[in-house]
Structure formats: structure tokens, C-alpha cells
Chain A
Amino acid sequence: MWQIVHKLGSPKWFYRVSGPWLPWLWSLSVVLLVIGTVWGLAFAPADYQQGDSFRIIYVHVPAAILAQSCFALLAICAVIFLVWRIKLADMAATVAAPFGAAMTFVALFTGSVWGIPTWGTWWVWDARLTSMLILLFLYLGIIALRGAFTSRDSGSRAASILALVGVINLPIIKYSVNWWNTLHQPATFSLTRQPAMPAEMWLPLLVMVLGFYMFFAATVTFRTRNEILRRESRTRWVRELAEKTH
């Protein structure tokens, strides 16, 4: 059992195995994103209240879901890195943090653009907007803390501790902010109940969410591979690889 875990945690093994996945991940994400975008923007029916402006949901909701999933990934990587010292987990966390921050920003930006036709203002101090903003600050804190250390290992451990502290605090922040003020509509997707919109509206959204996840997987895998090459640039297998490609 432990042998398998250590094999899975070996950067060299991951580099070798993930290579063939990449084209599949990229093409799957492009196909899903194209289908979802065209379906959502051109074929899905317009909303009876909001008209065409609701179509921004096809970017807004997937980005918001990804922003939160990415933080969960950070926390899982942090546990794996702190407990078992598996470097691969930290490499994934290093590259996933900027991605999560970007998704949070996209969710905030699209939400604010959407706010103009629906609420008549760019920004309201609503609970879910505010907790997304706080999520963005948490991401920025983790990225900044990692960068502040001169030793990479210290930076990795500090960022991992902060990610864990953040993930424990995130639900508390979310609930306290909810208590404080709520204007936003409730979550679009839930596992336990029927979506409030018709199927021809939420199916393209589902495709978009899956597309975003595939894009996430592809980006993180691709950038983790780069990070592996960067950190292991002194090992023999990376040198041999570099000589082979030259």
C-alpha cells in the first residue's frame, strides 16, 4: 500500500504518466466549453424576467464553483504535504492557487457585470459577493505568503498551514456573512433538489461546469509538469529528458 502511495507521489512517475493524459484533457475541455458556450449563448431560451442578460450565468456559476473546488484542492494538497511530505502535492498546490484566485476574480467580475441589469448596481454588499471577495483575499494571502519565504520548503509549509486555517475558517466566514446580509439568489445547483430552471437552461450550464473542471484539470496537470521540471531540474532524469528533446 505504502509503495503505491510513494510511487504516486514521485514527480518522475507523475511526469511520465500524465504526459499522455494531457491531449485528452485539453481536447475534452475545449469540446465541452465550445458546446456549452454555443448552446448556452445561442440556443438556450431567454429568461422570462432577465431576458438575455441571464446568459452570463454560463460563465459566472462555473467560475464560482471552480473557485471553491480549487480551495478544497489546496486544502487536500496541504494535508498530504504536511502529513506525508509528498512534494508532488505541494507542486500541485503551488500551481492551483493562482488558478483559484483567477476563477474567484472571474466570478466576481461576471457577477458585478450581471449586477447592472438585474440589481442596477455594480456592487452590493451581499453575503455571497462578500464571501467570494474574502475568498479572493485568502487566495492572495496564500500566494503572497509562499512568495515571501526565501527557502522554498518553508514557503510551502507556511502556505499549507495557511490553506488549512483558511479552509476551517471558510464555512464560518460564509455563515457569518450570510447572517449579516443576503440578497443573492440561493445556489444554482444542489444534489438534493430539482434545479429551479428548465432543463434547456441548466443542461448547457452543466456542460459548462464540466468543461471548466476539465480545463482546471488540464491546466493544473500541465503547470504541475512544468513545476516538476523546474524543481527537479538538477536530477538526472530531467537532464536526460532535456538532452533527448534537443
Chain B
Amino acid sequence: MSADRLPEASSFNTSAAPLRYAFLATIRRDLTLKLRRRSELANPLVFFALIITLFPLGITPRQEVLRELAPGLLWVSALLAVLLSLDGLFRDDFEDGTLEQLLLSPQPSSLLVLAKITAHWLTTGLPLAFMAPLLGLMLALPATSFPALCATLALGSASLSLIGAIGAALTVGLKRGGVLLSLLILPLYIPVLIFGAGAVKLAIDGAVVMPYLALLGALLAAGLALAPWAATAALRLSVNG
């Protein structure tokens, strides 16, 4: 946030910065930190591409088979890429004490946690959604399904970030939380996977995908309402424990 847009100093002194500023400042801070470490930013994308490369090698290079499998493969790989990035969601802030400051700040902490989750989605889920058509092309997906692929991944990965934040918050205090994190989170990802991959399949057949997109939106709405709250409770416990 540039200095000229900051509110007057006096409004800081009263009790707290307005929530809007705190929310945007948290997103901005997380994005800045991410953009300073570009290689880390690229890791989930490279992982996504690599996993997709493995499937034709492991199954078959035949286009008609790949086309059949593509929606599921793309979705599962994107889901794993998000999962891989989750461990870093709170880890650095936990280790250098930023997380404690965040929880102690006068603003409602669940909204600040939501800001961190939003930043995570902007740097992980959204790039994955934009990259998916390229990999879809390599898996012989028809171009007519690309809009559905992008839309479901963009919508669905937001839910993945939200649900994943709960798991990341629960395991951030543990030394080796990575494997445990996937055990906790993967079962909860199943509805998103079903509706996401289902919508892409429908799009290949030229059917209407709106109902599935609406369901993904419903999952996102429920996640937005509940997940930051649960993640904050889990973070409190990790910071105190």
C-alpha cells in the first residue's frame, strides 16, 4: 500500500486500522513476499506440468485414451500441486513470529487469515487454472472444453486453498507435518474434485456446465464462511501449543 493512500496517522492511534486496509495490506504483504521468491512461485506450476507429463508415459500416448482421462488427470494433478504448496502457507510466518502478531492484531483474525488464503490462491490456484489449457492441449482435450477447465480450476482451487488452510494451520506447529497434512486434507477435497472434473467432462461432450459450476460456487461460499474461522482456531492452537 503506497504511503499517500494510507489513512491519517490519527486514525491508527484510536484503536485499529480500518479492516479494509488491514485486509489489503495483508494480501499485499504476502504477494510481495511471494514475488520476491519467484522460483518458489513457479514450483507448483512445474510440478503440475511434470505430473501431467508422467501420465502419458505411464499409461499410453494414444490420444483417444488420454482425452478420456484428461479431465481427471488435470484435476488430480492440480489438486496435488495445491496440496504441495500448502505447507508453506503459514510455515514462514509461524517461524518468524509474524503469525502471533497477526493473531494479536485488533482486527478480526479470521479475516486476516482469509487475506492470507486469498494471497495463496492468487499465487497458486489462479496460475494453475491459466496453465491448465496448455497441458490440456497436450492431453488432446478439445479446445471447446478450455473455458470450463479454466473456470472450474479457478473456482475450485479457491475452495482447495480454503479447506487446505485448515490442515496447514493444524499441522504448522509440527516438525514433519507434510505427510500428515495430505492425510487430513485429501478426503475433504473429494467433493471439489468430483464437481470440477465432472464439469470438464460435460464440457467435452458439449453439455451445459453451469449446474456444476454453481455447485463449485456453493462449495466456495460455504468454505468462505467456515474455513477461515476453523483455520484461525487451529492457528491459535498451533501458536499456543
Contacts and interface: CB of A to CB of B under 8 A. Distances in A.
Given A148-B171, A154-B241, A158-B237, A179 B194 contact: yes
Contact of B194 (A154, A169, A177): A177
Q: How large is the interface on B (under 10, 10 to 19, 20 to 34, 35 or more residues)?
A: 20 to 34
A137 B183 contact: yes
Contacts of B19: none
A164 interface: yes
B56 interface: no
Contacts of B127: none
Contacts of A157: 237, 241
A179 B201 CA distance: 14
Interface of B: 166, 170-171, 173-174, 177, 180, 183-184, 186-188, 190-191, 194-195, 198, 219, 222, 226, 230, 233-234, 237-238, 240-241
Contacts of B188: 165-166, 169, 173
Interface residues of A, number: 28
A145 B237 CA distance: 13
Interface of A: 82, 134, 137-138, 140-141, 144-145, 148-149, 151, 153-154, 157-158, 161-162, 164-166, 168-169, 172-173, 176-177, 179-180
B168 to A, nearest CB: 12
A158 B170 contact: yes
B237 A161 contact: yes
A181 to B, nearest CB: 10
6 contacts: A138-B187, A161-B170, A161-B230, A162-B184, A165-B166, A180-B198
Contacts of B187: 134, 137-138, 141, 166, 169, 173
Given A153-B241, A164-B230, A140 B183 contact: yes
Contact of B190 (A82, A149, A158, A173): A173
A82 to B, nearest CB: 8
Given A176-B190, A179-B194, A165 B230 contact: yes
Given A134-B190, A137-B186, 4 more contacts: A154-B241, A158-B234, A176-B191, A177-B194
Contact of B184 (A134, A141, A149, A176): A141
B183 A176 contact: no
A149 B180 CA distance: 11
B114 to A, nearest CB: 16
Nearest to A134: B187
A196 to B, nearest CB: 29
A126 to B, nearest CB: 14
B233 to A, nearest CB: 6
A153 B166 CA distance: 18
A160 B180 CA distance: 16
Contacts of B184: 141, 144-145, 162
Contacts of B241: 149, 151, 153-154, 157
A145 B181 CA distance: 9
B206 to A, nearest CB: 20
Q: Which 8 A-B pairs have the closest CB atoms?
A: A154-B241, A176-B191, A137-B187, A141-B184, A176-B194, A157-B237, A134-B187, A141-B183
Contacts of A134: 187, 190
A220 B190 CA distance: 31
A148 B180 contact: yes
Contacts of A141: 180, 183-184, 187
A168 B226 contact: yes
A218 B189 CA distance: 35
Contact of B170 (A140, A153, A162, A180): A162
B194 A180 contact: yes
Given A148-B174, A154-B173, A177 B190 contact: yes
Nearest to B218: A172
Contact of A144 (B166, B180, B219): B180
Given A148-B177, A179-B194, A172 B219 contact: yes
